[in-house]
Amino acid sequence: MDVKAIDPGLVIFDCDGVLVDSEPLAIRVLMETLADAGLTMDAEEAYERFLGRSLASITAILSEEFQVDLTHAALEKGRARLYEVFQAELKPIPGIIDALDRLSVPFCVASSSQPERIRLSLSVTGLLDRFEPDIFSATMVRKGKPAPDLFLHAAERMKVPPAECLVIEDSPAGVQAAKAAGMHVFAFTGGGHAGGQSHRETLRLLAPDHMFDEMARLPDMLSSSSTA
């Protein structure tokens, strides 16, 4: 497909599934947490309903649609388990270090995750120093993705107009949020969770500016128009 020539003033990266290959790990732990609460859900449905959403959004969906109210203790147990798994298994997205080294424009991270989870993910994978202090969480705004609040907050803090921002996202909710914010958006499909045709088709129907699955190609995609 033809790639539009985009010369952004700021690149806003999602974290999970874009900088770090965390989504398969997170969904695995979420399914275990739900099973402990009496709700059985397969991975495909969990990805479809929860990918890219904040913890507040996930708990609201569980309460409203499944009548499952996770207790504080259950959430804390799930968080502790997730952090253990991240420490042992989390890896950076292949090619992300090369991409960051070659980007010639400012960049930041804006994620649905809580600040401590974002920093843990970036620390474990050796990326924290590249982003600190430009790390923005859905906990900083009123509404998480697919609302545009988080990306607009990041653009404001980075002092770049929304129309000059490019968001790198892996989730439908994230693509919707970027478009609602009036930003360019590239859908990344190179994470461990993004290989399924259904996921890619869902992203394609949201009409991002481009879809790509090799993160190391990102700087070249910004410098000139090309064919993928």
| Residues with active-site annotation | 14
Q: Enumerate residues 6+ apart whose C-beta is below 8 A from 203.
A: 172, 175, 187, 189, 211
CA 35 to chain CA centroid, Å, is 24
> What strands, in cross-sheet order, belong to the sheet with 165-169?
135-137, 107-111, 10-13, 165-169, 184-188, 210-212
Q: Enter the tokens of residue 109.
A: 């991270």
> 3-state SS of the chain: helix, strand, coil percent to 5?
50, 15, 35
